[in-house]
Structure 1
Amino acid sequence: MSADRPEPGPARTAAARRGPLLGLIGAYLVSGAGTALSAIAIPWLVLVTTGSAVATGIVGFAELAPYVLLQATAGPLVDRVGLRRTFLLGNVVAAAAVFAVFLLGALHDLPLGALVALVAVAGAVRGAADAASTPMIPPLARLARWSDERAVGLYSGANRAALLIGMPLAGVLVALVGPAVTILIDSLSFLFAVVVVAATVPRVVPASIPESPAASASADRPSAPRAYLAELRDGLRFLRADRLLLSLMALIVLTNLLDQAMSAVFLPVWAHDRVHDAVAFGVVGGASGLGMLVGVLLTAWLGRRLPRRLTFACCTLLASAPPFFAVAGWTSVVAVAAVFFVCGVFGGVPNPIIGAVQYERVPALLQTRVLGAMKASAYLGVPFGSLLGGVLAQGVGLTWACVAAGAVMLLATITPLVFPVWRQLDRPSAAPEAARLGPEAA
């Protein structure tokens, strides 16, 4: 008899609805923290073994270029393989590649060419996995009965929390146990993400993205090059016709390029040459992560009540240029960390807004291709940011490199306050979305 087994109550039912989304977010948090460890450990390993800012930039380029390429081109493949399966396979291969970096580093037999090859593999499979994870958010948000802004805010918050945890921890671990062991932990974090998503996210994502006409037409020949290219063109054609998405993409291309120069080259060189302490690198990165976490969580909580365009424009402007001027002028870890924290708060606010706008404007039918192409295009400058940062820091010195990058960043982030296309950020009405999601979306 079932007399001793209580009926599932509303709280238990709500927990079951939210479980898949929270599982995906939790996996992203842990794997992101592991990636943050490698983001410090690998550049530090290159710096202490070669002493070259250019070599550091080359390694950053080698990881990010395949990541961007797969983000742009993996959409049709993800549609065929499936969102969940692509995520799981990509993280398994990334774990293996990062483990190989640890193993060779621990054996003191890691030539620069081997390191470049391994991080390139890790970057490529991470690109495919991320192309699969982003389109899972809207259907899982609907299952949880949360708004897209809340879901995107929590997903972005997981990334910021990962930076908050991973970057300071990386500085401590690199100082205590060395970069190789720190990289091992990153490998384990990918495996953790695989286990969590496999256990919590259903094999068929509820209200999943429907199969595209191109995919249906080519079901008997899924590898046909012409069909694959036609599906890629579907996404690019939609993206090219949307002026707001194009404007967002252009702004993010430039800001990400310069941010990558900061994180991959300027900050490590500042910590190594001026502060002489790996912990300083982690502290400043952690301060930025804490600020961004505060920003995205505030937006997840208040996002539907804020005017989108004004909030996006002001926060982007206040977040972007000041860190470059702080690194250029100061050697105080406390002062630089304070600037990075405050700017991080402002910098965390636009991310949930961008995510919600993308999900609203891109049909579910095209999301794997359009969102992948947009993210890849937005990150197009990131690999070159590492190279640019290395060349500038070595060519004109850290101070002038940061001043030049900060000036360009300032000019770029004024544009949302100036050009009319950005007015499309504001939503016409929140009523239909609130009615669809119910009272829990507020």
Structure 2
Amino acid sequence: MTGSRKPFAALAVAEAFSISGTRLSQIAVPWLVLTMTGSAVWTGVVGFAEMLPYVVAKALGGPIVDRIGAKAVAVTSDSCSVLIVGAIPLLQWAGMLQLVWLVPISALMGAVRGPSDGAKSALVPVVAEQGAVPLEQVTGVMGAIERLGGTVGAAAAGAVVAMIGAPQALLVNAVTFAVAAAFISRGVPSATSQRPQEVSGQAGAEASYRQQLVEGWHFLRGDAVLVGITTMVSVTNLLDQAWTAVLLPVWAHDTGQGAGAVGLVLAVMAGPSILGALTAAAVGERLPRLPIYTLCFVVAGIPRFSIFAFDTPMWAMAAVLAVVGFVSGFCNPILGAVIFERIPRHLVGRVSALNTSLCWSLIPFGGLLGGGLAALVGLRAATMTVGVAYFWVALMPLVRKSFREFDKRPATASLSDGRTVHDLAV
């Protein structure tokens, strides 16, 4: 590996450990709450206590990333996560672990993890430039890591929790954050992590936090392509969450397939999605973005919902899910490259953080949507309703004028002026 690509490798390894740790906590914390209280309500409350601060902190942390640098924010946040997550097993060993502690600890976990994820995202165009690697390749590899963490990482996390218990598993989680911080600290040069002195308009170093946040918001709101992407992805994330959180588990329950079927369905999709992300990394730079992007969202939508709304043979379901998984793997690499190219370097942190937070803003309501529809019209009608809605949203690039600029790529030389991205789609 050439020296110039070492920052890319360091960020990739850090992301792998960070995502694996996140998957571990997403399994260990709810399981811990269930074993302590037996209450699904409290399990949901603790989950909400982490997710809300995560979204808010990621949005508000953007100016801090731009002001002090993405590397500093990533290393500091992951180092803090070591202490916060590690507090749970320490309380357990001291015999002091109670539900009253889990809610604020979970809130702190989300508040710290949000800026950390935003900072790692802001490092993507930096390491791409450092290694002279096309953005599609970098975002494709990062997308594959994210999806791999969602399958192998989740499976490994479940095994760890089962073997050593939830509190002890969170100690492993703390170690993963420490490893992520170490790789970014040692592998990503400080000089290339960010350039806060680069400014536009008013002097960036002297601008107040509020001015920087407002500047990021104005840039995002003024870019028609970013507005279109944010609108489209936030709605598809809502619909995806309705299916994943409610409609899919209800299908498994009502058909007698059992809880194992939920994991199997997600695994059948996730495996090919890794291959799709790696394929996008290899050939994405040469593909027409808008047609591929639109086709992927269409294929990833209504075929998937249709097979669960009607009595479909298992072999046919597996085939459709594999295709859906493969094409969905193309979405984030394409989205990432487009967004990275549109944001100037000095605005990377604040704009990408706002963009991602808005794309995630409807996810907490997905379960409410899925549950409400299932209760009102039944599982089959609810699944098809969500599927048809997904189909119409997937056609948005064909009818919104803002997407006409989607396929325009900047000249190679302009990549050094700072254009950037984030992992947007679920």
Q: Which of 52, 68, 93 lines up with 1:81 in the alignment?
A: 68
1:342 aligns with 2:323: yes
Which of 44-53 and 117-126 deviates more?
44-53
1:161 aligns with 2:161: no
- Corresponding position of 1:15: 2
- Corresponding position of 1:194: 181
Give me the whole-angstrom Cα distance separating, in 2, the residues matched to 1:265 and 1:115: 25
SS at match of 2:190: coil
TM-score, normalised by the number of residues in structure 2: 0.84
Give me the whole-angstrom Cα distance separating, in 2, the residues matched to 1:196 and 1:250: 34
Is the Cα contact below 8 Å between 2:70 and 2:194 reproduced in 1?
no
Q: Percent identity?
A: 37
- Corresponding position of 1:440: none
Q: Which of 345, 358, 362 lines up with 2:343 in the alignment?
A: 362
1:5-31 CA-partner distances (Å, limit 9, x unpaired) = xxxxxxxxx521111111011110122
SS at match of 2:2: helix
Give me the whole-angstrom Cα distance separating, in 2, the residues matched to 1:207 and 1:40: 34
Q: Which of 18, 23, 26 lines up with 1:39 in the alignment?
A: 26
Cα distance change on mapping 1:332 and 1:110 into 2, 3 Å = farther
Letter in 2 for 1:121: L
| CA apart distance, 1:53 | 5.7
| CA apart distance, 1:371 | 1.1
Cα distance change on mapping 1:317 and 1:109 into 2, 3 Å = farther
Unaligned residue ranges in structure 1 (runs of 5+): 1-13, 219-226, 437-442
Q: Which of 178, 202, 205 lines up with 1:216 in the alignment?
A: 205
SS at match of 1:216: coil
Letter in 1 for 2:347: L
Cα distance change on mapping 1:404 and 1:154 into 2, 3 Å = same
| CA apart distance, 1:331 | 10
Letter in 2 for 1:83: A
| CA apart distance, 1:171 | 4.1
Is the Cα contact below 8 Å between 1:280 and 1:333 reproduced in 2?
no
Letter in 2 for 1:188: V
- Corresponding position of 2:115: 128
- Corresponding position of 2:395: 414
Is the Cα contact below 8 Å between 1:76 and 1:215 reproduced in 2?
no
Letter in 1 for 2:116: A
Q: Which of 224, 231, 235 lines up with 2:212 in the alignment?
A: 231
Is the Cα contact below 8 Å between 1:54 and 1:394 reproduced in 2?
no
The correspondence of residues 3-402 of structure 1 with structure 2, limited to 5 A, is: 15-44=2-31, 55-102=42-89, 114-205=101-192, 208=195, 210-212=197-199, 213-218=202-207, 227-267=208-248, 274-277=256-259, 279-326=260-307, 339-389=320-370, 401-402=382-383
Give me the whole-angstrom Cα distance separating, in 1, the residues matched to 2:45 and 2:296: 32
Is the Cα contact below 8 Å between 2:276 and 2:329 reproduced in 1?
yes
Cα distance change on mapping 1:146 and 1:96 into 2, 3 Å = same
| CA apart distance, 1:418 | 3.2
Cα distance change on mapping 1:384 and 1:72 into 2, 3 Å = same
Is the Cα contact below 8 Å between 1:97 and 1:118 reproduced in 2?
yes
Matched length: 414
Letter in 2 for 1:312: Y
Letter in 2 for 1:349: F
Is the Cα contact below 8 Å between 1:36 and 1:166 reproduced in 2?
yes
Give the root-mean-square deviation of aligned CA atoms: 3.4
Which of 205-214 and 63-72 deviates more?
205-214
Cα distance change on mapping 1:358 and 1:233 into 2, 3 Å = same
1:77-113 CA-partner distances (Å, limit 9, x unpaired) = 2233321111012112223333344556789976555
| CA apart distance, 1:301 | 0.6
Cα distance change on mapping 1:150 and 1:73 into 2, 3 Å = same
Letter in 2 for 1:198: S
| CA apart distance, 1:298 | 0.9
Give me the whole-angstrom Cα distance separating, in 2, the residues matched to 1:304 and 1:322: 27
Cα distance change on mapping 1:362 and 1:99 into 2, 3 Å = same
Is the Cα contact below 8 Å between 2:71 and 2:193 reproduced in 1?
no
| CA apart distance, 1:125 | 0.9
| CA apart distance, 1:34 | 2.3
1:110-162 CA-partner distances (Å, limit 9, x unpaired) = 65554333222111111111221222111211111111111121122211121
Give me the whole-angstrom Cα distance separating, in 2, the residues matched to 1:179 and 1:232: 38
- Corresponding position of 1:8: none
| CA apart distance, 1:178 | 4.7
Which of 287-296 and 244-253 deviates more?
287-296
Is the Cα contact below 8 Å between 2:59 and 2:353 reproduced in 1?
yes
Give me the whole-angstrom Cα distance separating, in 1, the residues matched to 2:213 and 2:177: 28
| CA apart distance, 1:184 | 3.9
Letter in 1 for 2:206: A
Is the Cα contact below 8 Å between 2:341 and 2:410 reproduced in 1?
no
SS at match of 2:191: coil
SS at match of 2:126: helix
